[in-house]
Chain A
């Protein structure tokens, strides 16, 4: 069964610093991959997704992620952190490559220091 691992339950960066949130999945069949952000007491907002094509995908708020099949990874990055980026970030993958049920990682809480 597919599983998702997010390394680091808490990540803290200074404002203006690089943000790197790690995500690895288990299946040898490349799934669809997503990053969602959750602000306190809110639902999940889609940041970006990879399904097919170019492996570097750009999302909202300056975030991007690169799909690396050989490493079964889909790490999320942002060149310069902003205070408003402080939130919980979830990596999610589909069980197969045709959509449907999402398998989520445990989440990474991002803190941004002034």
Chain B
């Protein structure tokens, strides 16, 4: 079974430029999460989707960040414009409600560097 797929793996951009990250969850997983991991810290949730609906976006900086999950499968996270402080690893995870414990499985992440 394929795991969570993310692309690109690495991205370097100038500040004020836009950037987008893509995630394909494990097949059949209806819940999708985006986390941000700053250097030397644990991941922090940005947004959680149940199918197409964003059910928790309280930690998403909505002035510059946006996300979508069309058709309840793939998801895209966008930053526009990027700031120096956005340099981090962006992790996507997915889980299935058929798993009563809702265990999350993570992708390899996208490492963003903003210059």
Contacts and interface: CB of A to CB of B under 8 A. Distances in A.
A101 B48 contact: yes
B40 A43 contact: no
Q: How large is the interface on B (under 10, 10 to 19, 20 to 34, 35 or more residues)?
A: 20 to 34
A55 interface: no
A41 interface: yes
Interface in A36-92: 36, 41-46, 49, 51, 90, 92
B104 to A, nearest CB: 6
A49 B103 contact: yes
A8 to B, nearest CB: 14
Interface string B93-115: 10100001111111111010000
Contacts of B103: 34, 46, 49, 99
B42 A41 contact: no
Q: How large is the interface on A (under 10, 10 to 19, 20 to 34, 35 or more residues)?
A: 20 to 34
Interface string A88-105: 001010100011111011
Contacts of A32: 101-102
B102 A46 contact: no
A101 B45 contact: yes
A106 interface: yes
Nearest to A34: B103
Nearest to A98: B102
Contacts of A98: 102
A92 B101 contact: no
B101 A106 contact: no
9 nearest A-B pairs in the assembled complex, by CB-CB distance: A99-B102, A104-B42, A43-B106, A44-B106, A43-B108, A51-B101, A101-B45, A43-B109, A43-B107
Interface of A: 4, 9, 32, 34, 36, 41-46, 49, 51, 90, 92, 94, 98-102, 104-107
17 contacts: A4-B42, A41-B111, A42-B109, A43-B107, A43-B109, A45-B106, A46-B103, A46-B105, A49-B101, A90-B42, A99-B102, A100-B48, A101-B33, A101-B56, A102-B33, A104-B44, A106-B40
